Amino acid sequence: MPNTQITAVFYMVMSMIAYQISASFAKQLFEVLDPLTVVTLRLCFASILIFLMFRSWKIIKRLPYLKWKDLLFYSGSVCLMNVLFYASLGKLPQGIAVGLEFLGPLTLAFLSIKQKSDYIWVFLAVMGIALMIPWQDATAHNFSWLGAAFAIGAGVCWAFYIYFGQKVVRQNIGMHALTIAIVLSAMVMLPVSAVHNPEALLQTQYWKQALMIALLATAIPYALDLMALKQLSKLSYGTLSSLSPAIGAVTGMILLKEHITFYQCIALVCIMAASIGVTFRAKPEPTQ
């Protein structure tokens, strides 16, 4: 496997680790703030972070010449994905929310299959996800069908995020595409939250946690995702994303002392096998 693909896989793994840690932090913050406020604060802080990090004032002169159709779809998918996933986190256990959200990129990976031999990796990923999700909670008090709908909707947005992310990276504007997407998302969410719960936005004692979530959930993983999408196909990215529930389970075990069942251990093996297999089988998509 080319070194560029190995680097891309490393970017993806680091992205997912950062995102899963941030999800745990966000869920803790839901105890004092509503999910809409948390995602708004996250996007606002993230827009400032990445604007400074990537020196995105350099792109201002090029704005009239960009392909805005792809950028707007990319930005919209980022915004809705964040809102729906955080809404699902507020109603579901993290493992179920992440597992259901993954159905989006997994479906995209399935639709991107060109060789029959690749079906085995998607099958392993599906089996791993099925074993990872604690289905017995579906009849418990902490399961919400509305939350499940939010998670699946976030997964659909995740699939669009992958699709339009690959189109956006071909505009050769680098990480400035991420800046544009996050700034537009923050501009949309800020007035919505200001109407929904203006008092919550002004509770400055929680801004420090929101800033940390913005760094771990947006600035770091989305930047790494864009770098990975330059080298990975939709099949590779979609199947490798199956590591998210596994990383979430391991993160919960280490940071929150959560227990991993025997079936979840089998699920980890299936997901890891699928991710490794599709990585070594896939070829990078040519850039344009």
Please tell me the least confidently modeled range out of 35-44, 61-70, 240-249: 240-249
The DSSP 8-state label assigned to residue 215 in this structure reads I
Task: Give start and end residues of each alpha helix (H) in 133-287.
Answer: 145-169, 176-196, 198-201, 207-214, 220-229, 234-240, 243-255, 262-281
pLDDT of residue 285 exceeding 60: no
- List pLDDT tens digits, range 115-127: 777 788 778 878 8
Q: What is the pTM of this model?
A: 0.77
More confident of the two residues 53 and 2: 53
Out of 117-131, 134-148, 182-196, 206-220, the most confident range is 182-196
pLDDT band at 153 (very low <50, low <70, confident <90, very high): very high
Mean pLDDT of the 49-66 span: 86
pLDDT of residue 13 exceeding 80: yes
Tokens matching residue 2? 């080319």
pLDDT of 185: 92
Distance (Å, whole) CA 20 – CA 204: 24
Determine the residue type at 43: L
Distance (Å, whole) CA 175 – CA 158: 18
Mean pLDDT of the 22-37 span: 87
Burial of 31 (0-12, 13-18, 19+ CB in 10 A): exposed
